Amino acid sequence: MPRDNHRSKLRRRFNAAKADLLATLLNNEPAITPDDADGILDATWQHVDSYVGIDSVKPFKSWLQVGALKLACLLVTVREHFPNQKNDWLLSRLFDYAGDPDDLESLEKFVNSEVEQERQRQAANVALVDRLANDAECCKAVRFGIRSSLKGRNGLGFDPDRMDEIEQRVWLWVIDNGEKLRIPGESMPARLFKLAQLTARGHLTECLRRKRKFRGVESVLAGRRAGIPTEGRHTVPRPSASYRDEKCRGSALADRLQYGEFA
């Protein structure tokens, strides 16, 4: 089975088992809060590629339950004995701890080692950002990537004055995930161009969601101008293709948003 299809199947099973896993965590570990439980499940999912069991529902659910309960136990122990370690990323790293949760000396060595590795990783990523942000080609690639994704999208709620904010999001991603850019392959400007495009599209999605919340009146008015009855309807039906071809000159995405396809 292709890896993507296998992962999609596991994702569906993971989502189906989530409610039971949350209840199990909260019932077995009184010190675990609902937010802790969500974080534990997210950390467990991040390690789903390590699952090598039988490709059926029950073994996978058992693997999830064992992993989640192990993380919950370790989280409680770390909080109790190492209260200064409050970083969210540590929860995911605890999944790789193979020692006894009650062996505090071994656990402390593991935690200290992970903290030092994370410190070095962050320092390397900050140095990478400093270098890339002072490289003219890389900066140009980031700006062009943002513009290529947002060109002509002003009508969808995008504010051109927020270009700098999107650019900052790109550099923040590099600080958190810079090691992914060091994998041999494409040139750094090409990678930054694609990263900037994805970041800008994410920002555009946020704009569309905000716009969607307040589009009700505009949709009704648009439907009335098109001669479409709206009484008793929550959204305006999509007009005929001939009307769209004649009257709509915006982007396809703007057209779909305006006439209620996302409702």
pLDDT of residue 263: 37
The verdict on residue 44 lying in a domain is yes
Shared domain check, 227 and 186? no
Shared domain check, 140 and 106? no
The verdict on residue 263 lying in a domain is no
Q: What is the mean pLDDT of residues 128-146?
A: 92
The pTM for the full model equals 0.58
Integer CA distances (angstroms), 87 to 91, 94, 212, in order = 8, 12, 35
pLDDT of residue 171: 92
Confidence category of residue 75, pLDDT binned at 50, 70, 90: confident
Shared domain check, 248 and 142? no
CA distance 49 to 132: 31
Shared domain check, 222 and 207? no
pLDDT of residue 5: 72
The helix/strand/coil state of 251 is coil
Shared domain check, 182 and 95? no
Tokens representing 67 are 């992993």
Shared domain check, 141 and 37? no
The verdict on residue 130 lying in a domain is no
Shared domain check, 16 and 97? yes
Shared domain check, 140 and 203? yes
The verdict on residue 125 lying in a domain is no
Of 91, 117, 143, the domain-final residue: 117
Shared domain check, 109 and 26? yes
Confidence category of residue 232, pLDDT binned at 50, 70, 90: very low
Shared domain check, 229 and 144? no
Q: What is the mean pLDDT of residues 170-181?
A: 89
Of 85, 90, 109, 89, which is closest to residue 99 (Cα–Cα)?
109
The verdict on residue 164 lying in a domain is yes
Say yes or no to pLDDT of 59 above 60: yes
Q: In this predicted model, which residue has the larger pLDDT, 35 or 261?
A: 35
Tally of domains within the chain = 3
Boundaries of domain holding 166: 135-211
Mean pLDDT in the chain? 76
Shared domain check, 200 and 243? no
Of 179, 194, 211, the domain-final residue: 211
Shared domain check, 113 and 32? yes
pLDDT of residue 13: 87
Confidence category of residue 108, pLDDT binned at 50, 70, 90: confident
Share of the chain above pLDDT 90, in %: 16
Say yes or no to pLDDT of 140 above 90: yes
Of 117, 147, 165, the domain-final residue: 117
**Out of 56-65, 66-75, 189-198, 247-256, least confident range:** 247-256
Q: How do residues 11-55 score in pLDDT, each as one tens digit?
A: 888 888 888 888 888 888 888 888 888 888 888 888 887 787 766
pLDDT of residue 249: 40
The verdict on residue 38 lying in a domain is yes
Print burial letters for 86-123: b (CB count within 10 Å at least 16), e (below 16).
Answer: eeeebbbbbbebeeebeeeeebeebbeebbeeeeebee
CA distance 117 to 162: 35
Q: What is the mean pLDDT of residues 102-115?
A: 86
The verdict on residue 90 lying in a domain is yes
Ranked by mean pLDDT, the top range of 98-102, 129-133, 200-204 is: 129-133
